[in-house]
Amino acid sequence: MRADAPPHDRASAPPQIGLVTSPLVLEHDTGAGHPERSARIKAVLRRLDERGLTAQLAALEAPRASLTALERVHPSAYVERVAESIRRGAPYIDSPDSTVSSGSYDAALVAAGGALAASDLVATGAWRAAFCALRPPGHHAEEATSMGFCLFNNAAIVARHLQAAHGYSRVAIVDFDVHHGNGTQHLFEHDPSVFYASLHQYPHYPGTGAADERGLGDGEGTTLNLPQPRGSGDVEWLRAFEGRLLPALEAFAPECVIVSAGFDAHALDPLSGTELSAAVFGTFTRGLVEVAQRLGHGRIVSLLEGGYSLEGLAASTAAHVEALLDSY
């Protein structure tokens, strides 16, 4: 796989890849100086437009998630606590980095609901794959605790929905955010029906994701952590991705691949000590699609996680989406 693989002609093909977003996610106001800000979504959508990619995508405005879907992952008491805390004007949920405003609960419902709607369209074959440009992100959210800018764990909610609503017995979550997805790992580490694989900088926030964390009990072996040292770049991450992650993913044989698509491992990112190029995210994407296609379905649901340099985020997301378009 090459990061500079040429595109094929898509001019006459109907849209097979979806883009899910919503203006409501801009109402999640994290305040001046916070890295997880609404400008991230604006930068992503602007770059997709500038590159002529938006016109090639099937667009959907994200709906709100149902409480039923949320409560497959998060206890109702936690969901109610998040909603009530925001209603009464709390400045954050559980941790000062998880800042909230009056629009944050609706934004969080839409972030989860858009991911769920995308997964339904992919599962039914209406779309081959989808990218969800939504926020707040989700992979740090634990079962009943917010942290790391995340309120609800969107990837986990999608995984449980695919199992409950579409009957899938094996779902994979692949996470290439520079920060380990502690919440996602902990939610599934006992569960052999969900494979969680993470490439991330280590040691780094949140402190989890060592190589010997492989799952627990019945879930032992269905967690794969591939920690990379500070200063690593495309060569090191691709070696782990192609040499270990993709073979393990194919061996698990998931019926759908959920991508926790964080772009904060880009060299420009202020919260990272990793040196990835934008192009390598396209290489990751093509590799995931190739595995999904070899498994006979090609189903990919990609959810935006981190990425805090607006330029790094925009360039990396464009490479990711273009690779999705080129792969089908």
Name the catalytic one among 28, 74, 139, 140: 140
SS (H, E, C) the chain: CCCCCCCCCCCCCCCCEEEEECHHHHHCCCCCCCCCCCHHHHHHHHHHHHCCCHHHCEEEECCCCCHHHHCCCCCHHHHHHHHHHHHCCCCECCCCCCECCCCHHHHHHHHHHHHHHHHHHHHCCCCCEEEECCCCCCCCCCCCCCECCECCCHHHHHHHHHHHHHCCCCEEEEECCCCCCHHHHHHHCCCCCEEEEEEEECCCCCCCCCCCCCCCHHHCCCEEEEEECCCCEHHHHHHHHHHHHHHHHHHHCCCEEEEEECCCCECCCCCCCCEECCHHHHHHHHHHHHHHHHCCCCCEEEEECCCCCHHHHHHHHHHHHHHHHHCC
Active site residue 140: yes
Q: How many CB atoms lie within 10 A of CB 130?
A: 29
- Report the catalytic residues: 140
